[in-house]
Amino acid sequence: MAKTKEDPKKVLNTEFNHYLFNTGEHIRSYEFMGAHVIEFEGRKGVQFTVWAPNAQSVFIAGDFNDWGYGEMFPQGTTGIWTGFVEGIGEDAIYKYRIRRHDGFEFLKADPYAFYSELRPKTASVVKDLNGFKWEDATWRAKNKRKNLDANPMNIYEVHLGSWKRHWDGRFFTFSQYIDELIPYVKEMGYTHIELLPVMEHPLDDSWGYQITGYYSVTSRYGEPKELMQFINECHKQDIGVILDWVPAHFCRDSHGLYLFDGTPTYEYQDPNKASNNRWGTTHFDYGKPQVHSFIISNALFWMDMFHADGLRVDAVSAMLYLDYDDGPWTPNIYGGNTNLEGVALLKKLNTTVKKEYPAALMIAEESTAFPLITHDVESGGLAFTHKWNMGWMNDILRYFELDPIYRKNHHNLITFSFMYVFNENFILPMSHDEVVHGKKSLLNKMPGDEQMKFQGLRTLMTYMMCHPGKKVNFMGNEIAQWMEWRFREGLEWIGLKYEMHQKHQYFMKELNSLYRNHKALYEIDDSYDGIDILDADNKNESLFTFIRKGKQPRDFLVVICNFTPVQRDHVKVGVPFEGQYEELLNTELKEFGGAWEYSEKTFNTTEEQVNGKDFSLEVIAPPLSVLIIKPKRIKGAK
C-alpha cells in the first residue's frame, strides 16, 4: 500500500483507521476502504470494507456468489462494514447489497473501487494497484526542487475520448496514447498535459465531470496500470500531468454515491444544499467528517498511486456559495451565502496536499471574485496554487469576436485585466467550455474572411502568451479547427491537409518554443515587476504596447499588439536601454500564414522620450498582428 509498510491484514482492520475516518482525519482511507487482495490467517482472498452508517445490513454480491449474500460485519458503531471472501482475487466483479432501515434492498457500486465495468454496466471490479515499476524518480526529484511559478507552464488540455478515435469510433487506449499523444505534445512544446476526468463516469456526454467512481480509472481507455504507464512515460519525456477532478458534486445514478445506504450519506440532508438543479447532480456534505476523509484521500490517491503532478479542481464556486445554483437556498449560520463548510474543507484539502506534496499543483476553476483563492490559509486564503482567470478569458473572447471597426469602443476589454491580474496566481485558459455548445471554435469566433480569421487567431494566441499568467489551451486550438469541439469524434486532423492549418500548427509550435525559451514571458507572473505597460490608451488605433520582464535587466521583450486589420506605420515605443534591438516574432509572416514576405530584422534606438522611457524604437505594426522585439546589443543593462 502507498506509504505503508505494515502487513495488509493489520492495515485493513484497525480501530485507529476507523477512528481517523470518522473524525475526518484519515488522509489515505483508500488504503483500507474498498476491495483489497490480501492474505488473511493463511487464506488468500479479498477483503471488502464500506461505510454505510444507516444500513440495516450490508452484503457482498458478485459473480463469485451468484450475486447473493456474502456476509459483512459491522465494525462496532463506526458505520463501517467489513467482509472477507476467500478464493477470489483481481478482476472479481462485485457490488454491495444494502438492506435499508425498512428492509428494502438495492445494489451499489463500491465508492472506493479501483476499477469498474465498462458502461453501460455498472459493477465494481477488484484491482490490485501495487507492483507497478515507476521510472520517474528524476522527474519527481526535479519538480521538488524547482519553483513552479518561476518556470514556464503551458498546458495542453485533452479529452482523451475525442483527441483521436479509431475509424470505427472506438476509443484509443492509454497504451495507444503513449505512442500518439505524448510525442505530439513533446513536439509541440507544451509543458503539461491536463486530462479531462479519467475517473469512472456513466455518461459520455458529461465528459467525465459527473463521476460515480472517484477512485476508479475509467474503463473506456484501459486498465489502471496502463494509466500509470502513460503518466510514467509523460514524466520520462519531461511532461507534467494534471488531472481534472470534481469534489463539488456527484451524479445521481442509482448505483453511485446518491443516497448510498438509503439515506443522505455522502450528501447534505438539507435538499437546498444537496441539490444542484443546474447540473442535475448532488453536492457532497462538506461538513461531514467522513466526506472529508473520502475527498482528501481521493486527492492524495491520484498523487500517491498515479503520480499525478496536480489537480484542476472543477466547479469550486459551487463549493463556496450556497446560492450558486438555481432555485431555493439555505443561508449559513450568519445569514450569508458563503458555504462555510465548503471553505473549511478547501482550506484543509490544500493544506494537506501541500504538506504531503509541496510541488503539487492545485488549480481552482472558480468563476467569481471570491477573494484570496491562491493566498495561504494564514492570510485568510484557500491555499490553491493557481486559479483559472475566467474573467480575462471572457473579456478577451468578447473583444476578439467584435468586428475590428468596433473594437475602439471596447478597448477596456483588453486592458481591464491589468487592474486585477496579480490579485491571484492566475492561469489563462482557452478551455473546452469555450469551443462547445454552439460557441464555435476559436477560429470561427474570429470575424472576417478566412485570411482575417487566421490573423485574428494568431494575434489572440500570441497576446495570451505575452500576458502575465500561466497558459491552458484546449486541443484543436493549435490546428485551428473550423468546427467546434465534438466529443463523440476525433479532432479535425484532416484539416492538416490544407496549407493554412499546417502553417497555424507550425506557428503554434514556434510560439510555444518562444514562450519556453524566454524568461521574460514566465519568470515573473505574479507581480507588476514582470510587466511595464507602455501605452494602454490608444483605443482609436486599437494598439496596445507593453514590456514583459524577467528577473535580470537584460531579460525583457517589447510587445506591440495591433488589433485592427489596418497597418500602422511609424509606431513609436519606449524602451529602457539604448542600443540595437531585433525582431523575435512577427505573427503576419508568410511562413505562419500571413502576408508579409520579410521581417524587419533590427531596430536602432533614438534618444527620444516615449512612454516614459528615455529611448524609443520606431516600427511598422502589421495588420491584425503582434510584434515581439528583444534586445540585441544594448547599453546599461547587466
Residue 322 to residue 312: CA distance in whole angstroms: 22
Q: Is position 597 annotated as part of the catalytic site?
A: no
The Cα–Cα gap between 576 and 392 comes to: 28
Distance CA 158, CA 180 (A): 13
What is the CB-side half-sphere exposure of residue 456 using CA atoms within 13 A? 25
CA dist., res. 53 & res. 39, Å (int): 27
Can you spell out the DSSP letters for 476-538? TGGGT-SSPP-TTS---GGGGGSHHHHHHHHHHHHHHHHHHH-GGGTS--SSGGGEEEEES--
Could you give the CA distance from residue 428 to residue 472 in angstroms, rounded to a whole number?
Answer: 6
- Please say whether the beta carbons of 86 and 65 come within 8 A: no
Encoded amino acid at 112, one letter:
Y
Q: Residues 110, 157, 233, 314: which is the catalytic one?
A: 314
Given 200, 261, 325, 365, the catalytic residue: 365
The number of residues in the chain equals 638
Burial class (CB in 10 A: 0-12, 13-18, 19+), 109: buried
> Residue 555 corresponds to which amino acid?
D
**Residue 304 near residue 2, CB atoms below 8 Å:** yes
Catalytic annotation on 314? yes
Q: Which three cell numbers stand for residue 36?
A: 483489497
Which residue has 451499489 as its cell numbers? 108
Nearest to 143 by CA among 191, 194, 197: 191
Q: Which residues contact 271 (CB under 8 A, 6 or more apart)?
A: none
**What distance in Å separates the CA atoms of residue 601 and residue 306, rounded to the nearest whole number?**
48
CB atoms within 10 A of CB 68: 11
Distance of CA 273 to the CA centre of its chain: 26
DSSP secondary structure letters along 406-424:
GGGGGTHHHHGGGGTTTTS
DSSP element (H, E) containing 142: helix 137-145
Q: For residue 325, give the DSSP letter.
A: S
Task: Please report, as a single letter, which amino acid is at residue 476.
Answer: G
Q: How far is CA 623 from CA 273, 395, 516, 626, in A?
A: 52, 21, 26, 9
Question: What is the 8-class DSSP label of residue 547?
Answer: E
Q: How many CB atoms lie within 10 A of CB 15?
A: 10
Cell representation of residue 394: 471572457
Instruction: Look up residue 327 and give its DSSP letter.
Output: S
Cell digits of residue 144: 521538488
Contact 466, 505 (CB under 8 A): no
What distance in Å separates the CA atoms of residue 150 and residue 254, rounded to the nearest whole number?
46
Cα gap 624→505, rounded to integer Å:
18
Q: Where in the sequence numbering do the catalytic residues fall?
A: 314, 365
